[in-house]
Structure 1
């Protein structure tokens, strides 16, 4: 059986980025993914400045709409922070996936349609069995198969989810963006993320507890509901979650986890792509250097800010102080701006 250097399970944005990183390091790589191009997903679709820089390094510059900063809003209170060093960009997930897939193909990534249902590994390689009965073998296997990762479970790295179970819902509307900031509307029960993704389209994502009603959440922000009234809905409602996923570790023998598969706190800070791209880079750097065991330490380093700030914000949002988040940010604009910059870079 042919043995490739790296087998990536999951062909979403982070899986494809991992594969491109592998090719840039001179490694042979195969990606296994059951869905075709492009893959859509419920997400906020705002690329932080740091995510754009990471994509540029991979040779990718996806089209979209300028994002100048982040605006926290609650009723008639708001606090804005403009990015200090470079702009972000609102990019439809389908557009991002398409340009990543094109780049992967251009650099020689092998793309295989299939679903993995079992893993095996020995001292020299890891194998993935597909549901069609075929097997793919590689020196290293990277699990990039999302929140509900089969690789994470098969490798014995999954932990039960504890605490708050939050979910996301997303739609797009035919409306000219009225703001170059990502608007985050804080309501008593949910957060609504409004992201400009084109000259005539905005995405609105709702994050909240299970069974959150999308329309009710939008109506709870009257100013937003007025802007969207009579606007055509351009995409169907998509959902994702629960966001909180736990792992015992990020490596098990010759299996390495990246992206949401490696463990996830919440989408509340909107920087999942940036963090996932950083994980993809260090995972391949560790493999190429012949020291994949170092990945656990590198994973903790590149996700530290995300884990700490996101966990803190989620805890605050679940506490009686939730209603004070926007007033507090408004009263401490320097602190709010520092947090945004830390997450954006």
Structure 2
């Protein structure tokens, strides 16, 4: 049996669903297939930056405020050192991954996407995808099937140029958030993100290069955070995932494109994984409308540049205690520099806007604090 559609999307995570919704709004007939069946969860920090919310809005998806917790900025902490900054415009949302996935699934159904949950993709070729025993002919194929993308592997799209592997572990705790910032706790053993996701719940996510480290080790390596969580009941089981830094030399081949983690990824330390994927969803649909994926290949590079730069800086801080201590102390003494860096990170400013004067000021502050590191 053969079926005809405009677009087949392989992978039904948030980015695949956002791409499907955007394509439907562009007037395309869309089929989405995933071997999993909702509700679908995945270990992540569960924070959406303002630029990620704007990208979702661009595909017609708005998260009701009652389903999320608004946070107004980012705070870095290590020991007695702390620095924070508010977003230059808008707020971020802490939202449970399952809540987000359910919301996107509902929007996709309302938009008329043909959702094929529990469906095995058994073959992929140019203009054809076999779902279970059904051959589907299409104009476009989108691989949104994650780090181990079968679309990428089967069609041999892209060679890996860089790759770094770390590990993430996430759990929720039932307590009232103590701040309306996402807090990032630093140590020699990794970083812990604390994201408020409801009025009575926080998400705690550990990112580390040590595959044996777990959230049960917080009291040893992150004592300040462990004290805040003391007495709180866990409201979910601990869940793990691999976080990859991966860059491909291409994300398109003919009428096939990769989006989300299938197309490469930045370390979870940036907090921008889904935001990047939502922007890619918009860009790939615009390219399909033009009749060529060439513009998406170019857009994909530009979309990822700021996050890759920030990832490199933050990973360097994590791996080098002296650099981390000097940077955090320098930023805490000049918090306006941290605010400018956050503005660049969420796309409100360009790197060139940071300016020579600010760069020299940060460098001087780091040298000034050398004796304290």
TM-score for the superposition, normalised by structure 1:
0.93
SS at match of 2:136: strand
Partner of 1:287: 288
Offset at residue 60 of structure 1 (A)? 2.2
SS at match of 1:142: strand
Q: Distance in 1 between matches of 2:317 and 2:163?
A: 14
The answer as to whether partners of 1:188 and 1:323 remain within 8 angstroms in 2 is no
Uncovered stretches (5+) of structure 2, i.e. residues with no partner: 348-373
Asked if 1:266 corresponds to 2:271, the answer is no
Partner of 1:83: 87
Uncovered stretches (5+) of structure 1, i.e. residues with no partner: none
Which protein shows a greater Rg?
2
Q: Distance in 2 between matches of 1:328 and 1:118?
A: 54
The answer as to whether partners of 2:183 and 2:194 remain within 8 angstroms in 1 is yes
Partner of 2:116: 112
The answer as to whether partners of 1:176 and 1:200 remain within 8 angstroms in 2 is yes
The answer as to whether partners of 1:141 and 1:254 remain within 8 angstroms in 2 is yes
Offset at residue 331 of structure 1 (A)? 3.3
Partner of 1:43: 44
Q: Count residues with an aligned counterpart.
A: 340
**Aligned ranges 1:200-211 → 2 under 5 Å:** 200-209=200-209, 210-211=211-212
SS at match of 1:297: helix
The answer as to whether partners of 2:9 and 2:20 remain within 8 angstroms in 1 is yes
Q: Distance in 2 between matches of 1:319 and 1:224?
A: 21
Q: Distance in 2 between matches of 1:198 and 1:290?
A: 43
Offset at residue 186 of structure 1 (A)? 0.4
| Residues 1:117 and 1:312: Cα distance change in structure 2 (over 3 Å) | farther
**Aligned ranges 1:1-345 → 2 under 5 Å:** 1-57=2-58, 58-62=60-64, 63-113=67-117, 114-121=119-126, 125=127, 127-130=128-131, 132-159=132-159, 164-209=164-209, 210-217=211-218, 219-320=220-321, 321-345=323-347
Q: Which has the higher helix share?
A: 2
Over 4 Å off, 4+ runs? 160-163
The answer as to whether partners of 2:218 and 2:226 remain within 8 angstroms in 1 is no
